[in-house]
Amino acid sequence: MLSACEPTTAPQPAVNTGDGQLIPAGSFLMGSDKVDTSGKQQEYGLVKPLFLDEHPAHRVELPDYYIDRYEISNAQYKKFVLETGRAEPFSWTQNGFNLLESRLRASDLETLRWIATEYFKFDIDTRSVTKKRLLQLMQKDRAMKNRLPVTSVSWYDANTYCQWAGKRLPGEAEWEKAARGEDGREFPWGNEWDTGLTNVGDDADWEGGIAPVGSYENNQSPYGVYDMAGNVWEWTADWYQPYANNDYTSKDFGETQKVIRGGGGGVGHYSLSFFFRSAMRGNAAPNTQSGDVGFRCAWDAVQ
């Protein structure tokens, strides 16, 4: 039987590491007062009304805090899995990413050819490929997957990872400020929509619609935080609740759904710009494991 990710050391808490960005203390404009005046909800067959859960636009004051500049990658999450024994994302069991290098090297040629076809799904005739070449292709494939944002992780998985790393999930307000700055801009880069600046899932270059973290140099927030529009949705710490003075009612409000932010590219939203706005609020049950939902961590400036 092929061996997957296994813990190699005793679980131990990590410290604040990674490429964090300081978000300075101060107020910012959160939410919006937008309304769907052109009937886009009906036009695109959307169940959830557009914009209403963002009402009203309001100023929020936050202290200094740090947030990861990039979404948590597969490589980072694999280290967590190996050190803690946490269950790996289901997608890893389907694409070969969880297979141990040592076990691949120990496999005979016929087994390796079968793995290349059934798990890695290489578009080649493996019957004439040598073991050395197959191992090279697998190594290259795994190196590429290392750079992808981890997905198919629940809110509980994301929360536990951040705690293990000495961090926490960002609050909804922290996420939004890091994405749009203090001036209430529509998108991390400004107020004009541009599909070329982010991964909206329509780019055939990215298998599965997901790009390696930081692939879009111009998809940066005013603070230099990457990929806060597109690529994958991101878990936040907060329950999906109405803002103060909001008169919109949703059956999902309460403590059953967590807020996700940023818009995902993996499933495809036909490049509809409102899915990628910095004020846009998504929501999902905390046990959801989706192929286009990942996360990043935050931490207090004063520990």
138: containing domain: 90-146
- Low-confidence residues in the chain, pLDDT < 50: 1-3, 6-17, 267-269
Entry pTM:
0.88
Measure the CA–CA gap between 67 and 297, rounded to whole angstroms: 6
Q: Are residues 72 and 122 in the same domain?
A: no
pLDDT given for residue 2 in this prediction: 46
Q: Are residues 49 and 196 in the same domain?
A: yes
pLDDT given for residue 10 in this prediction: 31
pLDDT given for residue 303 in this prediction: 61
End-to-end CA distance of the chain: 45
Q: Are residues 158 and 271 in the same domain?
A: yes
Q: Are residues 28 and 142 in the same domain?
A: no
Say if 9 falls within a structural domain: no
Q: Are residues 140 and 231 in the same domain?
A: no
Say if 14 falls within a structural domain: no
pLDDT given for residue 101 in this prediction: 83
pLDDT given for residue 109 in this prediction: 87
pLDDT given for residue 173 in this prediction: 98
Q: Are residues 47 and 68 in the same domain?
A: yes
Q: What CATH number corresponds to the domain at position 256?
A: 3.90.1580.10
Say if 2 falls within a structural domain: no
Note whether 259 and 281 are within 8 A (CB): yes
pLDDT given for residue 20 in this prediction: 93
